[in-house]
Copies of this chain bind each other. A is one copy, B any other.
């Protein structure tokens, strides 16, 4: 169980899950992630993207155009992680709602 604590800590932190999803759903640039995740601040976005990069879940590529572009892309690891999380998502969907777990209110 200790071996997942790191993943868990990371995934559970605010914004991380949403960012990962945003990535798989087509977000690539900084502002695309920001648009995809309503409410996140530039600071948190930067922090999370860096963390995900460090964990090997996102790749970061700087395109030296003017203005500069930075492209983020989910790695294979991220895809595998998302797969690994699936059963947990199913479990959550089936059991947590009725247990009174607070589901984050949709923005819209």
Chain A positions within 8 Å of B, measured between CB atoms, are: 1-13, 17-18, 20-21, 54-56, 77, 80-81, 83-93, 95-97, 99-104, 106
Contact = CB atoms under 8 A, between A and B. Distances in A.
The count of identical subunits is 2
Given A8-B17, A12-B8, A87 B83 contact: yes
A90 B84 contact: yes
A55 B88 CA distance: 15
Contacts of A86: 87
Q: Is the interface of A mostly helix, strand, loop or mixed?
A: helix
A91 B95 contact: no
A54 B100 contact: yes
Contacts of A87: 83-88
